[in-house]
């Protein structure tokens, strides 16, 4: 059977796969354009703000929880079957929503199931494109590769919102006097378009995107009875060897290491850990040999002298081993309490809340401004992903600093727009809203790209899909919590509103006006974000501490 690798060179296959991965990523973030269809969904089905927030949260949550399904599929069956799974689920999800919207049939529960399927499909496309392409490139470029791919994942919201605005706007649509259905037919056609384009691209990617297998593993210690091996990667550009994520060491290398936990020095051994280990010390320490000669060196392009980088050294950990790692839990809680989804998914209601209800142009302005802010968030997301990936690679390779420092910094910056929205006296100005959208987009983009490369740094390649699933499982509850907090306070503000003026454009719709619609929700979000900042800080501290201990051990051994 002919394959892409048998016809083309590996280098060509690698870059063709990267290009296809970019296209897959651009489609996999289609759920982030939910704000562009939420108003029509609300009108057609008669939903409240809490209903809409719950529906959008289900889609976001399914993208995280979906890792538990698609992670093992990828680990065991590869990128092809993962993409086939994505095509089937997206056809059922978006296709079902198209039918439900066309007939106003099924209600909230049915739409939640369908949107959940679309969310899991997005996860499958995301993981297949990300994991396959990261495995095709050296570990020292993890941030750059993931940044490029996830930049287009971040741009997908802009792509689809602009398609919705310009091709499926419904501006010139004539209302059928015999129809009882509210909402535009343009949104119905947009859902059909989503169904066709995502299903087709996932199937094409399943055929042409390839994961190039790693070189044959070499034994580190031919005189040992151990089966422990090490993979060597080659950096094509600089023609140098770099340390692989699957590096393990033989027991003969551990002689003389005080307090060394030999029972867990390889991935496939699940021995009990010795007591006396400090929290978070075991990921990097388990890969540390006792002699300088035993550690593969990573060359610095600007320095002919080789050097060892402890922050690009991790073992391929089995999924169950992650549960005993403090680094894993710091990582999980840093993402679980991260706020901002309530802003991203409700920017349309925020825009309506600050506009003048007596202005006859309010409806048109609201549509235009919502599109603008979705675009700002999406572009910021793209730049944040690309920038954090490239810069974190440069910093981790040149200065030997854990890339988790950028994760910590991003969590701090996310707090800025939350404080603006929650504690500004009076209505938020349009300038402040633009600043908030840019900050939310860039910081969410950065944490998204860093998640991919940090998971590889901490837990390795072999079980990458399952590791992603475990890291993101609890984070799947983040959108539900954030959106429901916003929705509850929003509906409470609606109920407290006085009757609208006769000339108000909002007279016949359930739209909240004023700062009370959003400020309480963002105050709660600010408090939750502080937990995320603390967890991210502990993650950076733990990883840096492990790296320093490994460097000290190596220095003592080579003295």
Predicted confidence (pLDDT) at residue 214 exceeds the cutoff of 70: no
Mean pLDDT value of segment 145-161: 83
pLDDT of residue 7: 52
Bridge partner residues of 241 (DSSP):
234
Do 397 and 517 fall into the same domain? yes
Bridge partner residues of 242 (DSSP):
233
More confident of the two residues 547 and 172: 547
Alpha-carbon distances of 43 from 106, 183, 206, 231, 516, rounded to whole Å: 15, 5, 37, 57, 23
CA angle 121–122–127, rounded 5-degree value:
100
Read off the pLDDT band of 307 (50, 70, 90): low
Query: Do the Cβ atoms of 157 and 170 come closer than 8 Å?
Result: no
> Is residue 481 in some structural domain?
yes
The Cα–Cα gap between 69 and 65 comes to 8
Q: Which of 141-150, 174-183, 337-346, 525-534 has the lowest mean pLDDT?
A: 174-183
Q: Which of 61-70, 292-301, 467-476, 494-503 has the lowest mean pLDDT?
A: 292-301
> Is residue 107 in some structural domain?
yes
The Cα–Cα gap between 421 and 436 comes to 8
DSSP character for 238?
T
Query: Do the Cβ atoms of 309 and 551 come closer than 8 Å?
Result: no
Residues 424-467 pLDDT 10s: 988 999 999 999 999 999 998 899 889 888 988 888 778 888 88
Express as a percent the part of the chain with pLDDT over 70: 77
Residue corresponding to tokens 């929503």: 97
DSSP character for 179?
-
Do 131 and 246 fall into the same domain? no
The Cα–Cα gap between 126 and 95 comes to 20
> Is residue 344 in some structural domain?
yes
- What CATH number should be reported for the domain holding residue 29? 1.20.1250.20
Query: Do the Cβ atoms of 121 and 89 come closer than 8 Å?
Result: yes
> Is residue 558 in some structural domain?
no
Q: Which of 51-60, 262-271, 300-309 has the lowest mean pLDDT?
A: 262-271
E strands, 420-470, where? none
Q: Considering 277, 296, 319, which residue would you say is the last residue of a domain?
A: 319
Do 91 and 191 fall into the same domain? yes
Query: Do the Cβ atoms of 412 and 479 come closer than 8 Å?
Result: no
* DSSP per-residue codes, 322-391: GGG-HHHHHHHHHHHT---HHHHHTHHHHHHHHS-TT-TTHHHHHHHHHHHHHHHHHHHHHHHHHHHHHH
Q: Considering 278, 301, 319, which residue would you say is the last residue of a domain?
A: 319
Do 17 and 135 fall into the same domain? yes
Residues near 323 by beta carbon (within 8 Å), at least 6 away in sequence: 470
Which residues form the domain of 222?
218-319
Q: Considering 289, 319, 349, which residue would you say is the last residue of a domain?
A: 319
Residues 471-515 pLDDT 10s: 888 877 887 788 788 888 988 888 888 766 555 544 444 578 899
Read off the pLDDT band of 166 (50, 70, 90): confident
Do 273 and 330 fall into the same domain? no
Predicted confidence (pLDDT) at residue 242 exceeds the cutoff of 90: no
> Is residue 18 in some structural domain?
yes
Number of domains within the chain:
2
Mean pLDDT value of segment 95-101: 92
> Is residue 476 in some structural domain?
yes
More confident of the two residues 288 and 455: 455
């Amino acid at each position: 059977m002919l394959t892409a690798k048998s016809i083309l060179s590996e280098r060509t296959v690698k870059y063709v796969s990267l290009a296809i991965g970019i296209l897959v990523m651009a489609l996999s973030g289609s759920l982030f354009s939910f704000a562009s269809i939420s108003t029509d969904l609300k009108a057609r089905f008669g939903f409240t703000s809490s209903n809409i927030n719950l529906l959008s949260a289900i889609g976001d949550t399914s993208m995280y929880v979906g890792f538990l399904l698609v992670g093992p599929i990828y680990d065991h069956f590869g990128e092809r079957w993962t993409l086939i799974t994505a095509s089937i689920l997206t056809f059922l999800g978006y296709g079902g929503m198209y039918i439900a919207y066309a007939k106003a049939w099924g209600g909230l529960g049915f739409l939640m199931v369908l949107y959940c399927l679309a969310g899991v499909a997005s996860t499958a496309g995301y993981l297949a494109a990300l994991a396959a392409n990261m495995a095709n490139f050296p570990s020292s470029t993890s941030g750059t590769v993931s940044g490029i791919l996830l930049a287009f994942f971040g741009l997908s919201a802009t792509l689809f919102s602009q398609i919705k605005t310009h091709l499926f706007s419904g501006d010139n649509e004539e209302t059928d006097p015999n129809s009882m259905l509210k909402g535009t037919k343009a949104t119905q056609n947009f859902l059909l378009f989503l169904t066709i384009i995502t299903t087709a691209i996932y199937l094409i990617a399943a055929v042409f995107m390839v994961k190039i297998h790693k070189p044959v593993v070499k034994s580190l210690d031919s005189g040992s009875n151990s089966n422990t091996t090490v993979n060597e990667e080659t950096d094509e550009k600089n023609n140098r060897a770099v340390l692989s994520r699957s590096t393990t060491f033989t027991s003969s290398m551990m002689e003389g290491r005080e307090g060394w936990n030999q029972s867990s020095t390889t991935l496939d051994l699940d021995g009990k850990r010795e007591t006396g280990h400090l929290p978070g010390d075991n990921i990097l320490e388990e890969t540390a040999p006792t002699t300088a000669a035993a550690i593969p060196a990573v060359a610095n392009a600007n320095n002919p002298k080789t050097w060892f980088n402890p922050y690009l050294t991790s073992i391929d950990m089995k999924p169950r081993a992650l549960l005993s790692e403090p680094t894993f839990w710091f990582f999980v809680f840093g993402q679980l309490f991260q706020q901002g989804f309530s802003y991203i998914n409700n920017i349309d209601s925020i825009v309506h809340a600050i506009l003048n209800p007596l202005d006859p142009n309010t409806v048109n302005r609201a549509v235009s401004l919502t599109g603008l802010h979705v675009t700002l968030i999406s572009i910021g997301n793209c730049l944040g992903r690309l920038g954090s990936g490239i810069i974190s690679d440069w910093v981790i390779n040149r200065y030997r600093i854990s890339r988790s420092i950028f994760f910590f910094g991003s969590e701090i910056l996310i707090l800025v727009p939350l404080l603006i929205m929650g504690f500004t006296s009076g209505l938020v100005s349009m300038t402040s809203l633009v600043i908030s959208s840019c900050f939310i987009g860039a910081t969410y983009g950065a944490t998204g790209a860093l998640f991919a490369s940090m998971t590889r740094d901490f837990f390795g390649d072999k079980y990458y899909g399952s590791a992603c699933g475990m890291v993101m499982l609890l984070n799947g509850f983040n959108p539900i919590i954030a959106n429901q907090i916003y929705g509850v306070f929003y509906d409470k503000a609606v109920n407290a509103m006085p009757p609208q003026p006769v000339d108000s454009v909002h007279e016949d719709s359930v739209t909240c006006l004023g700062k009370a619609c959003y400020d309480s929700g963002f105050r709660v979000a600010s408090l939750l974000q502080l937990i995320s900042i603390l967890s991210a800080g502990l993650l950076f501290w733990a990883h840096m501490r492990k790296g320093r201990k490994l460097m000290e051990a190596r220095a003592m051994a080579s003295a």
